[in-house]
Amino acid sequence: MKGARQVGKTYTITQFGKEEYKSFIYVNFIESPELKTAFSGDLSSAEIKKRLTLFIPNIRFIPHSTLLFLDEIQECPEARTALKFLAQDNTIDVIASGSLLGLSCREVISIPVGYERQMEMLGLDFEEYLWAIGFGESSTDALREHFDKLEPLAGAVHEKMLERLREFMVIGGMPAVVQAFVDSQNFATAFSEQEMILNSHLDDIAKFANPSERNKARECYLSIPRQLAKENTKFKYGVVEKKGTARKFLGSLDWLRDASLIRYCRFVTTPQFPLRAYEDESRFRVYLSDPGLLCAMYGFEMMAAVAHDKLAGPMKGGIYENVVADMLYKSGCDLHYWMSEKGNIEIEFLLERDAHVVPVEVKAKKGATASLNSLLERKDIPVGYKLSSGNIGVVDKKITIPLYLAAYLKRIE
């Protein structure tokens, strides 16, 4: 189980283990580094289980009802190798977790290919955020029904959901931040949690990045708010450092992506299916992996500006694009964008449906959609979506939906 720090991996797996198994065994290689010795030498399942009984009093390996949870496994490469032999033991189940699991492969003697299933845990998406702040599943079911039927929502409901979306933009989906906000109803308390998480991310960069990459990765990470505050057509290394180049910084950006701190939105040379066939690896946009952390990087005053819809200028577009990218990614969509050679047509996101491309244009307010209109003139583009503060509406091939319904675009059929 991979994912950025503090997305809830340890809590979720622990709760699952305690509720679903008669015996739950927790191993944390940071809290208890001495447990690494249980994975040295013979890596057979029987030997590992025997050694663990020396370190953890009263543990029980109950056949077919035991979950062994190896947390922060990146700290013990031998344990990663041992997953193969633990998987072959059909009497116990094993879950491994690590914030930077994907970055430690070079240290692992043997990757257990075919014996592990990798999953990524993400922060709360917008629908989960609504549940956390008190909305019932009946409310979100109603939103999905309006999306499926393309029926406008009642005006009062629509305005309320726009408010909740702006709230999500400043709080984000990190569980500790959401919990702090739910408990206190205080934006300042949530901001304090966000600051701690941002500091932990910088600490991770300093601790885990290669010495040659640490400063560069840090500067790339801290440049994201400046990148999104401009009318940029792609990530610009010159914003990180004057005369910065891909040769110097691309490896650091890839490290941040692998650590689940940022997400790439790839440029495609033509809006045609399949999009991956037309990716330009040298051109991409970068979004932060949590919309709330992005707002926090701008400072506390940004919370009020966004929540009260007082933000203006190029920065507004970047922040709204980031939250839409978050909603699309968490619903399972790949992130792609396209711009014409002249730069006069720009589509923020491109999705795929039935071997066709579906363009999505993002507007913080309502606004005209000249780029989307132009692309919809093509016969091979069956439909396009305008995301805005407006209600649901359909005009020919163009479907307007509110920004807060962006996550449901994965459901288009």
Q: 111-120, 246-255, 294-303 — which is least confidently predicted?
A: 111-120
What confidence score (pLDDT) does residue 366 get?
80
Closest CA to 297 of 186, 202, 179, 163: 202
What confidence score (pLDDT) does residue 311 get?
86
Evaluate whether residue 85 is within a structural domain: yes
Per-residue pLDDT, averaged over 191-205, amounts to: 95
Give how far the C-alpha of residue 13 lies from the chain's centroid of Cα atoms, to the nearest Å. Answer: 19
102 and 226 assigned to the same domain: no
Q: 22-26, 217-221, 283-287, 308-312 — which is least confidently predicted?
A: 308-312
Q: 177-181, 272-276, 309-313, 378-382 — which is least confidently predicted?
A: 309-313
368 and 308 assigned to the same domain: yes
Res. 233: pLDDT tops 90: no
218 and 191 assigned to the same domain: yes
33 and 158 assigned to the same domain: no
Long-range contacts of 136-143 (CB under 8 A, 24+ apart): 143/404, 143/405, 143/408
What confidence score (pLDDT) does residue 278 get?
98
Domain termination site, one of 107, 142, 166: 107
What confidence score (pLDDT) does residue 103 get?
56
% the chain with pLDDT above 90 = 81
Res. 228: pLDDT tops 90: yes
Res. 177: pLDDT tops 80: yes
Evaluate whether residue 4 is within a structural domain: no
252 and 327 assigned to the same domain: yes
What confidence score (pLDDT) does residue 165 get?
97
What confidence score (pLDDT) does residue 116 get?
85
pLDDT greater at residue 314 or residue 404: 404
Tell me whether strands 66-71 and 23-28 are parallel, antiparallel or unpaired.
Answer: parallel
Number of domains comprising the chain? 2
Rg (the chain; Cα; Å): 23
Which of the four pLDDT bands, split at 50, 70 and 90, describes residue 102?
low
- Phi, psi at residue 115, to the nearest 5°? -120, 0
DSSP code, position 98: B
Tokens 């920065």: give the residue: 315
Tokens 């507007």: give the residue: 363
What confidence score (pLDDT) does residue 98 get?
83
Long-range contacts of 335-338 (CB under 8 A, 24+ apart): 335/263, 335/264, 335/265, 335/266, 335/287, 336/265, 336/266, 336/267, 336/268, 336/275, 336/279, 337/265, 337/266, 337/267, 337/268, 337/285, 338/267, 338/268, 338/270, 338/271
Structural domain range at position 92: 9-107
C-alpha to C-alpha distance for 195 and 233, rounded to whole angstroms: 29
Res. 412: pLDDT tops 70: no
All residues at 6 or more sequence positions from 177 whose CB lies less than 8 Å from its CB, including other chains: 171, 190, 193, 194, 197, 292
63 and 25 assigned to the same domain: yes
Res. 206: pLDDT tops 70: yes
What confidence score (pLDDT) does residue 113 get?
64
Per-residue pLDDT, averaged over 298-327, amounts to: 91
Evaluate whether residue 113 is within a structural domain: no
Res. 106: pLDDT tops 80: no
pLDDT in tens, 42-63: 999 999 999 999 999 889 999 9
40 and 93 assigned to the same domain: yes
Measured at the CA of 83, the angle between CA 95 and CA 28, to 5 degrees, comes to 50
| Average pLDDT over all residues of the chain | 92
99 and 141 assigned to the same domain: no
Res. 239: pLDDT tops 80: yes
What confidence score (pLDDT) does residue 230 get?
82
Per-residue pLDDT, averaged over 96-102, amounts to: 75
Res. 413: pLDDT tops 70: no
What confidence score (pLDDT) does residue 112 get?
66
Evaluate whether residue 114 is within a structural domain: no
38 and 181 assigned to the same domain: no
- Distance, first Cα to last Cα, the chain: 30
C-alpha to C-alpha distance for 140 and 266, rounded to whole angstroms: 30
Which of the four pLDDT bands, split at 50, 70 and 90, describes residue 231?
confident
154 and 206 assigned to the same domain: yes
3-state secondary structure of 394: strand
208 and 242 assigned to the same domain: yes
Tell me whether strands 336-339 and 346-347 are parallel, antiparallel or unpaired.
Answer: antiparallel
